[in-house]
Structure 1
Amino acid sequence: MTRRFRQALAFEWVKFRSVRSTVWTTAVMAALPAPGAAFVAATGSLQPDDTVLGGSLTLSVPALMLAAVVGALTVCGEYGSGTVRTTFAVVPRRGTVLAAKAVLVAGLLYALALPATAGAYLVGDALLDDGYAQGEPLPALFGVAAAFSVAGLLGLAAGTLIRHAAGTVTAVIAALLLPSMLGPLFGGAERWVAGSSPTAALEKLMQTSDASTDAVGSLGAWPSLLLVTGYTALALLAAAALLRRRDV
């Protein structure tokens, strides 16, 4: 890691923790999964065909949406306040700025999501009855945490392209929810469309009964995550190319 990139990364970390909206959104994202596991256990709402892992991670889906919002806020907040000009004055290489944001978002979300979801599973495992299938938490939990990173990077890419917080949040929430809703309209391509969102990959990794082929496609959990990672990488490349061409 070059000295210039380390400086850019340190600069991004200072900005990230200085913005209340970003910090609070990140904190709520990390705090959501465990109470969800306790709620499912307390209400007895776990379905007979569900797994302890899937039931414990019920609130991981809204938490994933917050991860995408965190990625969006990381860049849109600067455009909204005008501080992006200062950022580019301090770090003229815009690709370096975007790369530093991407490393920060992906690393931080993974570091928070892994213990948050693992803790939720432990809570669910302790509170839920033994009559339910356990599920296979490993290596699934590592993939679940990776899905949070991917969602955050998708939000970052969308924020860089759109530059407006409201429009970006709308776009990323649509990207998370619409593929599974519109998949059946695409006939033979349904498995690719329905499985092309971080939400679909997350639900498959969670091994929840909601992850049926008609809802999230017939791709396996890991192929779905790889597909999502691939198009997120393409979105980041497009964002980097456009960022270099803009005046700001």
Structure 2
Amino acid sequence: MTTQTRTPVTADRSEPAPEPRARFHDLVAAEWIKMWSLRSTPWAFAVSALLVILINTNAAVADHNNWPGYPEGIRELFVPIWAMRDAFTIGGAMVLMLAAASIGALTLVGEYSTGQIRTTFAAVPARRSVLAAKTVVVTAVTTALGAVAAVTSFAVTQAILSGRHVGLPFDYPGAARVMVASALLAPVCALVGMGVGALIRHTATTIVTLTFILLVLPSLLNERNHMAASIQHALPQGAWSELVEVGESPVRELYPATIAGSWAVYGLWSIMALAIAMLLVHHRDPAP
């Protein structure tokens, strides 16, 4: 009688290979798709840019129409001071600031309010990588928004003023700085929006807070004392106002800002807002 030997079957207990980590450019692509999958996104950008351009154009049209009645003193100062101010007005800047800040805030707050952020972090536990990808997308699109608004506003307003022979060319000294400062105002405010959104995480409260910081607070300050002037110069709107000022103003400032300091304000607000967002997302939403 032959004895048959059976080999015992052992269960394969090897763990499945871990899924590959998401590459950063994949995260950027995902955030890009998220942003543009909303039907309101193209309209928000188009309306914001158009409104900024129309506000600036309206200022140039008003000066063109009122030019015959201007006294000689205003005419002497019009080039380049008033011509540059028409190129990008305070009203246009305020609209651009609020629009860009809202876009930056909603990129983050929108996911918290709908609960989609849980799905995002479940798919990609690396919170900082997700936020970095959002930052890249938001910075890119708002920089494009600011560039379109700034360059188009300059071209249109100076073409209108050229009808009175007071329009400025693109290569006029200081024109490049005005356009760059106005264009970069958008991504700076967008990053501020992300930082405030990461802190508050409530849509309405975030927008109100941004409106106060970016628009209301500068209007409450004046340059009559050093502290108020310093705070004003340290705000994005105050830095922008200094960067777009070209020519010798007849009004002497008691505590003037500097061009280098104003560029530094742009950078510091961007860095601080991003650092706050990174810190809060990492500690308030720890990876499982």
TM-score, scaled to structure 2? 0.75
Moved more, 6-15 or 138-147: 138-147
- 1:201 and 1:157 map into 2 onto residues whose CA distance is 19
Q: Does residue 56 of structure 2 align to residue 37 of structure 1?
A: yes
Question: Percent of pairs identical after alignment?
Answer: 30
In terms of fraction of residues, the more helix-rich structure is: 1
Deviations 1:116-174 (A, max 9, x none): 21111111111013347877211331222112111110001111111111111111111
Show the counterpart of 2:29: 10
Rg larger in structure? 2
Moved more, 37-46 or 100-109: 37-46
For structure 2, which runs of at least 5 residues remain unmatched after alignment? 1-20
Show the counterpart of 2:181: 143
Of 14, 18, 25 in structure 1, the residue corresponding to residue 44 of structure 2 is 25
Q: Describe the SS at the equivalent of 2:165.
A: coil
1:88–1:95 Cα change, 3 Å: same
8 Å CA contact 2:181–2:244 kept in 1: the answer is no
Aligned pairs, how many? 244
Q: Describe the SS at the equivalent of 1:92.
A: coil
Show the counterpart of 2:143: 110
For structure 1, which runs of at least 5 residues remain unmatched after alignment? none
1:139–1:41 Cα change, 3 Å: closer
- 1:126 and 1:179 map into 2 onto residues whose CA distance is 34
- 1:22 and 1:167 map into 2 onto residues whose CA distance is 21
1:197–1:137 Cα change, 3 Å: same
Q: CA deviation at 1:17?
A: 0.8
TM-score, scaled to structure 1? 0.86
- 2:110 and 2:252 map into 1 onto residues whose CA distance is 37
Show the counterpart of 2:7: none
- 1:195 and 1:155 map into 2 onto residues whose CA distance is 19
Q: Which runs of 4+ in 1 moved over 6 A?
A: 132-135
8 Å CA contact 1:53–1:207 kept in 2: the answer is yes
For 1:192, give the aligned amino acid. Answer: S
Show the counterpart of 1:73: 106
- The 5-angstrom pairing of residues 88-103 of structure 1 reads 88-103=121-136
- 2:60 and 2:283 map into 1 onto residues whose CA distance is 52
